[in-house]
Amino acid sequence: MVELLPLSDIEPQAVEDLLDAAFGADRFGRTAYRIRVGAEAVAALSFALVDDGVLIGTIQCWPVAHRDASGTATPLLMVGPVAVRPDLQRGGHGRVLMAHMLAAAESEADGALMMIGDPEYYGRFFHFDADATAAWDLPGPFERQRLLARAINGHDLPTEAGMIGPR
């Protein structure tokens, strides 16, 4: 039976092993890791999918901020990694994780959502796009069409130039 649980219920090493399998052990060099350096995942927006006691998917969200040239900070939540065990991908698990996180974010999010991801997936199913992010910058290399965002819970997206980093 597949269950959705708070990610905090899961043994941390099992989460790390799943992320290594989905993204490769060199994942720590990715720009997404630099954006949220030092941050703790938001417990109310981070979930696990468990099948008969075995971890098969995870989603995490992180408190980050957009800072403009004057230093004004707008809180955002960075979504990701979203990871499904490689042998179980394309079976609907990613969509279950994202839908559950978005439902929670409708009432829990203290900022709009951003992520680095495939627009073909996160746009098609979850209404993320790169419209607001054209002038945003990140502390590392990224493909601009993969810098995605969406408003939620009454929090709009900043559109001015700014750097995304820890709050």
From the list 4-12, 44-52, 92-100, 150-158, the region that binds ligand COA by CB under 6 A is: 92-100
Report 12-71 residues binding ligand COA (CB under 6 A). Answer: 22-23
Interface with ligand COA includes 89 (CB under 6 A)? yes
Instruction: Provide DSSP, 20-89.
Output: HHHH-TTGGGSHHHHHTTTPPP-GGG-EEEEETTEEEEEEEEEEEEEE-TT--EEEEEEEEEEEE-GGGT
In the chain, what's the furthest Cα-to-Cα distance?
A: 51
Q: Which stretch binds ligand COA (CB under 6 A): 39-47, 100-108, 114-122, 135-143?
A: 114-122
**90, 107, 141, 154: which one binds ligand COA (CB under 6 A):** 90
Strands 147-150, 112-116: pairing is antiparallel
- Nearest one of 147, 142, 167 to 159, comparing CA atoms: 147
DSSP letter, residue 5:
E
* Residue closest to ligand COA when measured from CB atoms: 94
Q: Which amino acid makes up residue 51? A: D
Handedness of CA 9, 11, 15, 21 (dihedral sign): negative
92 near ligand COA, rule: CB under 6 A: yes
Which C-beta is closer to ligand COA: that of 68 or that of 121?
121
By CB under 6 A, which span of 41-49, 89-97, 129-137, 151-159 interacts with ligand COA? 89-97
139 counts as binding ligand COA under rule CB under 6 A:
no
Residues in the chain: 167
Answer for which of 83, 148, 152, 164 binds ligand COA (CB under 6 A) is 83
Chain residues in the site for ligand COA (CB under 6 A): 22-23, 80-84, 89-95, 117-118, 120-121
